[in-house]
Amino acid sequence: MAAAVLEYVNGWFEKTILVPLRMGEEPAQSLKLMCQNLTQFYAQGRKTCLLNAISLGEGDDLFHSHIQQALTTWIEELAQVLIKAGIESEVAYSRAEEAVILIQGALVLVRGLDDTTPFERVVACLPERLLPGMISNPAE
């Protein structure tokens, strides 16, 4: 059953997060779309991350390679967007890892505090954090 849920989430993640990152012409827009889609999928942080949940206990033994591949792919696609924006490769990969850490950490914090503010703050600030000075404010 967990494998079927994981397959569903994997398909959704591919379609709504990875494809827009790969296909987006404008890096800033790709990042903003990723954040909007993450906010929708995680219900502003109220839903737990499946990768986090199944990596506990025996789930890690069963799904470790799948979790590792999913996270590696996400980091890779994020880094490629940053490289496309002119960020040096090593810095791009470091920022991409930090982005995933921030998102996943915020989801854990939301669950522990029963408050979606950390997730909302991380997602709102993430594009500017990844591409400092390159994100235009729609209000401007």
Tell whether 47 is covered by a domain: yes
Region 69-74: mean pLDDT is 89
Tell whether 135 is covered by a domain: no
The size of the chain, in residues, is 140
Determine the Cα–Cα distance for residues 115 and 100; give it in Å rounded to an integer. 19
The total number of structural domains that make up the chain? 1
**DSSP H or E stretch at residue 135:** none
Tell whether 76 is covered by a domain: yes
pTM for this predicted structure: 0.83
DSSP-based three-state secondary structure for 41: helix
Tell whether 136 is covered by a domain: no
% the chain with pLDDT above 90: 54
Give me the domain span that covers residue 34.
2-130
Q: Residue 60 has which token pair?
A: 């890690």
Q: Residue 56 has which token pair?
A: 């506990």
Tell whether 139 is covered by a domain: no
> pLDDT tens-digit profile of 23-69?
988 999 999 999 999 998 888 776 665 555 444 455 555 566 777 88
CATH number at residue 76: 1.10.357.10
Determine the Cα–Cα distance for residues 83 and 40; give it in Å rounded to an integer. 26
Tell whether 82 is covered by a domain: yes
Tell whether 140 is covered by a domain: no
> Is 119's pLDDT higher than 50?
yes
Determine the Cα–Cα distance for residues 88 and 82; give it in Å rounded to an integer. 8
